[in-house]
Copies of this chain bind each other. A is one copy, B any other.
Amino acid sequence: MDSTQLLKGVLDTAVLAVLSRGRTYGYDLVRQLRASGFDEVGDASVYGTLRRLFGGGYLTSEVVPSEEGPARKYYGLNRAGTDLLDRSKKTWHDFAGVMSHLLEGEEE
């Protein structure tokens, strides 16, 4: 099954949600997302999303050298990011409500 298109517009929200649990860097974020059920997210998609969100002013960013590999770019939510997450949650909720109503409304 191809849930690729479902991710569109939702990956942002998912990334924000993971970041609301605490700052992390891209590579780890990918792992967390995959562990959460988004089994097949491409890493490039996540990095792209992070760059877009950061560019939009929703994230803080800090490069931290690591002793077990290349430097990590830690991202965190700022006020705008938290607000965006709240709004996205609401949008998602409404949208999901419409969908489930449509999908199950005619069967009971």
Contact = CB atoms under 8 A, between A and B. Distances in A.
Contact of A103 (B2, B17, B106): B17
Q: How many copies does the complex hold?
A: 2
| A10, A36, A99, A101: residue with the most chain B Cβ atoms closer than 10 Å | A99
A9 B14 contact: no
Given A9-B5, A96-B100, A99-B96, A106 B21 contact: yes
Given A5-B8, A8-B9, A18 B92 contact: no
Interface string A1-21: 111111111100110011011
A101 B3 CA distance: 17
Contacts of A101: 36-37
